[in-house]
Amino acid sequence: MSPSASTPSYDALCQRHQRKHRLQHLQAIASWDQAALMPGGGAQARAEALAEMDGLLHQLGTDPALKDLLDRAEQEPLDEVQRASLREMRRVWRSANALPQSLVEAKSLANSHCEHAWRSQRGANDWAGYVENLRPVVRLAREEARLLSEASGLSRYDALLDQYEPGMRAAEVDRVFGDLRGWLPGLIRQVMERQAGETVLEPQGPFPASAQRSLGLDAMRLLGFDFEAGRLDESTHPFCGGVPEDVRMTTRYREDSFLQSLTGTIHETGHGRYEQNLPREWMGLPIAAARSMGLHESQSLSFEMQLASHRGFAQLLEPLVERHLGRQAAFSAENLNRLMTRVAPGYIRVDADEVTYPAHVILRYEIERALMEGEIEVEDIPALWDVKMQELLGLDTRGNYRDGPMQDVHWGAGLFGYFPCYTLGAMYAAQWFAAMRQERPGLDAEIAQGQLAPVFDWLKTRIWSQGSRWETPELVQRASGEALNTAHFRRHLESRYLG
């Protein structure tokens, strides 16, 4: 999209968005540093600096001149890609103009304060202290939801969901999750009964964090991560941040278990490769951004669940694990695959297997939706959590806030409306691989032989390189030949675990 004398308004919009992108680059690195390296004493100053940047970016995004530029650009002779770019610019503009700068800055401060305090409060099982910080986060998120709702005509929760998954509505999530609720508990029971007769060797630790880090880096190389445009560090909660030109990934280590870090690193590598392969020719414009968080999660889950938990992929992992952690019988490819596909209800979402994982997401979705719609208050969360964990996974979480409603960073960081994206992502990932197998019947044999390029090439062509050129339903149709079809996810789970 090179500048043209006949599109002055569109070109002016591009220049403004590219300036915002450069500032967002600095903001992203400051946020990464806040989570990964910043000393505790810097928390307040960093929170204030990030709030200042949020305010500045909001000013740029709500400049009164933008409306006229957007309207004039509509009349200019734009090509198809420029039209899509303008559509995304207008979507970003509408969202920004729904919120006053004072709210944007207040949210940033409250979220930073709550997230920083959460790091120590979670370990101390300090729900009472956490609630004091969470209450203002929820109050401001509800105000954001109200204003976005009034501007868009959507329900309050839909208005938040739309920020992460444009076009998705709670009614559709209810339909999809309602279907899951119907067959998932039975599948969990069936798989656990089948696996009960299997012999699984437990790896014998300890596993030094330094060796786990080296193993994770080798796995990232196997999966094609570009270390000239990104790096791996450590944080309380694993994440992928930064910008496409400088991707910052984090993981965490436990010396008694290496698989949590390895699978977490592989998960974040999926996010990282999506970011690194977004269309550079559009960089700095909204059209170059990842289309949605559901599609983002489809990439991390394509790597973690579809690939890393694939029986053939374990043959690629075996020599890497032995190189960094030594030789033991538990590191055989067959045993590694059994370890990575064990199904058992657990407390922690990020450590959950792919069969029980959707139950964790359904629980959070049902609670956060009621919280944002004003049907419950922060104080009601633990009791609801306990009931739903018992109902969905048969686990007792009473009094265990650390492994219950305090385990995730999302709510403390104000990310309401995000959780459904994880299971939508799992469904998209299953659909991507179903389409790949239809095109390449020998795909599974190729994966076992270490020929991963067909997977990466498919994802790059169909997903990564498209950015936000297409709205989600069209992107899904173009990539896989059909609309989101949840049957692929069920078939994937039944084939892998009961086949």
Structural domains of the chain ordered from first start: 8-164 (no CATH), 171-498 (1.10.1370.30)
Q: How far apart are CA 141 and CA 113, in angstroms?
A: 15
Q: Which residues pair with 257 in a beta bridge?
A: 254
pLDDT of residue 407: 95
- Closest Cα to residue 225, out of 293, 186, 292, 275? 275
Q: Which residues pair with 241 in a beta bridge?
A: 248
- Can you tell me the mean pLDDT for 317-340? 97
pLDDT of residue 282: 97
pLDDT of residue 289: 97
Q: How far apart are CA 223 and CA 200, in angstroms?
A: 26
Q: How far apart are CA 475 and CA 87, in angstroms?
A: 15
Q: Are 275 and 247 in contact (CB under 8 A)?
A: yes
Query: φ, ψ for residue 309 (rounded to 5)?
Result: -90, 5
- The pairs formed by 70-77 with CB atoms below 8 angstroms and a separation of 24 or more are 70/9, 70/13, 72/9, 73/7, 73/9, 73/10, 73/13, 76/6, 76/7, 76/8, 76/9, 76/10, 77/6, 77/7
Q: What is the pLDDT of residues 167-209, one digit of tens each?
A: 999 999 999 999 999 999 999 999 999 999 999 999 999 999 9
pLDDT band at 1 (very low <50, low <70, confident <90, very high): low
DSSP state of 331: G
DSSP state of 337: H
pLDDT band at 5 (very low <50, low <70, confident <90, very high): low
Sheet with 230-234: list strands edge to edge.
230-234, 246-251, 240-243
Q: How far apart are CA 145 and CA 148, in angstroms?
A: 5
Q: Percent of the chain having pLDDT more than 90?
A: 97
pLDDT of residue 350: 87
List residues with catalytic annotation: 268
pLDDT at 11 over 80: yes
The model carries a pTM of 0.94
Torsion of CA 461, 466, 471, 473, to 10 degrees: 10
Arithmetic mean of pLDDT over the chain: 96
Distances (CA, A) of 38 to 124, 308, 352: 21, 32, 29
Q: Percent of the chain having pLDDT more than 70?
A: 99
pLDDT of residue 4: 52
Residues 6+ apart with CB under 8 A from 375: none
Q: How far apart are CA 263 and CA 354, in angstroms?
A: 12
Q: How far apart are CA 102 and CA 99, in angstroms?
A: 8
- Can you tell me the mean pLDDT for 302-324? 97
Instruction: Kindly provide the residue ranges of all beta strands, DSSP E only, lying in 81-179, ordered along the sequence.
Output: none
pLDDT at 212 over 70: yes
Q: How far apart are CA 225 and CA 242, in angstroms?
A: 14
Length of the chain: 499
pLDDT at 2 over 90: no
pLDDT of residue 236: 85
Q: What is the pLDDT of residues 417-466, one digit of tens each?
A: 999 999 999 999 999 999 999 999 999 999 999 999 999 999 999 999 99
Q: What is the pLDDT of residues 244-295, one digit of tens each?
A: 999 999 999 999 999 999 999 999 999 999 999 999 999 999 999 999 999 9
pLDDT of residue 499: 87
- Can you tell me the mean pLDDT for 7-31? 97
Pairing of strands 230-234, 240-243: unpaired
pLDDT band at 160 (very low <50, low <70, confident <90, very high): very high
pLDDT at 338 over 90: yes
- Closest Cα to residue 150, out of 89, 96, 98, 90? 98
| Residue type at 224 in one-letter notation | G
Q: Which two tokens stand for residue 208?
A: 């030094």
Q: Which two tokens stand for residue 34?
A: 């806040």
Q: Are 433 and 492 in contact (CB under 8 A)?
A: yes
| Residue type at 253 in one-letter notation | Y
Distances (CA, A) of 134 to 99, 211, 363, 387: 21, 37, 19, 21
Which residue in the block uniquely carries the two structure tokens 């694993």?
Answer: 238
End-to-end alpha carbon distance in the chain: 49
Q: Which two tokens stand for residue 165?
A: 């998954």
- b/e for 321-351, b at 16 or more Cβ within 10 A? beebbeeeebbbbebbbbbbbbbebbbebbb
pLDDT band at 64 (very low <50, low <70, confident <90, very high): very high
